[in-house]
Structure 1
């Protein structure tokens, strides 16, 4: 067990724990914090709010996170990873995974407008774009990897490079999320936009809907 002070002068008593336990605890706190950010946004959420939501002591919270920014970055990583974890672990054909991503995973994200708004607040507040650039590159790599596997399986015959298509997908999703956080799902005609997005992806990926068959686990 060790005792030290964080940047704010708060005394922190840190028991010796395994890396796995520490990571598990960080994720538990971040999941609780996600609920707070959804309610209050990024600007108006405090470490005290997170402490209360996670039902932990102040020293415990600061032993895992130094600031609101650190907690929020962890929350963003969780949200970004959920969709791509689901699409990678899905055992259906790549075409069906794409369908699921467009019609389920994106809609799930859109129905968290407060969190989308919180993310916009954070991104617009950044003076240093490093994190935004890292997140962008990481997400593009994930989408590119998925699309490339679809090409290798013979399901996709893209008319453009898969990386260019990945950039198009991310730009569309981010823009749709931001607009929907302000206009709400119905006013932004989300279903219509997703249908057009879906058709565009099928076209640019060279997908023949008539030959699509189900291939379960």
Structure 2
């Protein structure tokens, strides 16, 4: 097989992940097959196997890809909010509220399915433990920046607040998928979570106003 440049490899991998995303959105994790992904990607099975050994490794790579996009989005929000951690959290929560009704059309249901059906498998359990650490670290870092620049004076540890935020959001999203966002008043719950977080962070609004002026 001829040598393939790193750039070409990245394009191939992205093509596979985008195809996989469409398959997992429509079929979920359990019902999706490698054959479905091969057909959606328009590649031979051999090309797929060149980069991934099975459906599980494709799905994990897809989640990593989405998490990398989240990290990029947080970086962008930091720039848009002139380095304000408070601004980042508010913007992120607003975007989350707006996207809740579209969760069922995303990869999120398949991620929850993969986690709940595969937790007995050591590889899957280890993966999600590491992912939890990685994703919570993104928001713990944001909160930490807010403490450093004087926006926050938290009443609890930054680590504890960050983990509480992620756990609460996960619960809201999972219940939205299970019972419907209207049934559980998801947007109102997100707003309540914002208020709780701001209380725990003891927001210094004078400092924030100074940054935005």
Alignment TM-score, normalising by the size of structure 2 = 0.86
2:116 paired residue number: 124
In structure 2, relative to structure 1, the CA distance for the partners of 1:109 and 1:82 (3 Å cut) is farther
Q: Distance in 2 between matches of 1:37 and 1:146?
A: 31
8 Å CA contact 2:151–2:205 kept in 1: the answer is no
The count of aligned residue pairs is 203
Query: Which digits, 9 at most, give the CA deviation of each residue in 1:176-214, with x for residues without a partner?
Result: 121111122212211110110110111111114576438
Per the TM alignment, residue 81 of structure 1 is displaced from its structure 2 partner at its CA by 3.0
SS in 1 for 2:155: coil
Per the TM alignment, residue 27 of structure 1 is displaced from its structure 2 partner at its CA by 2.2
1:55 paired residue number: 42
Match of 1:203 among 199, 203, 208: 199
8 Å CA contact 1:83–1:101 kept in 2: the answer is no
Q: Distance in 1 between matches of 2:101 and 2:27?
A: 17
Q: Distance in 2 between matches of 1:51 and 1:214?
A: 54
1:65-104 → structure 2 map (5 Å cutoff):
65-90=52-77, 91=79, 92=81, 93-104=84-95
Larger displacement relative to structure 2 (207-216 or 144-153)? 207-216
8 Å CA contact 2:100–2:176 kept in 1: the answer is no
Per the TM alignment, residue 116 of structure 1 is displaced from its structure 2 partner at its CA by 2.4
Question: What 5-or-longer segments of structure 2 have no aligned partner?
Answer: none
Question: What 5-or-longer segments of structure 1 have no aligned partner?
Answer: 2-14
In structure 2, relative to structure 1, the CA distance for the partners of 1:175 and 1:65 (3 Å cut) is same
In structure 2, relative to structure 1, the CA distance for the partners of 1:57 and 1:20 (3 Å cut) is same
Q: Distance in 1 between matches of 2:174 and 2:187?
A: 15
Larger displacement relative to structure 2 (25-34 or 198-207)? 25-34
Per the TM alignment, residue 43 of structure 1 is displaced from its structure 2 partner at its CA by 0.4
1:42 aligns with 2:29: yes
Larger displacement relative to structure 2 (46-55 or 163-172)? 46-55
Q: Distance in 2 between matches of 1:22 and 1:106?
A: 36
8 Å CA contact 2:100–2:181 kept in 1: the answer is no
Alignment TM-score, normalising by the size of structure 1 = 0.85
Per the TM alignment, residue 170 of structure 1 is displaced from its structure 2 partner at its CA by 1.0
2:174 paired residue number: 178
Which protein is richer in helix relative to its size? 2
Q: Distance in 1 between matches of 2:9 and 2:97?
A: 30
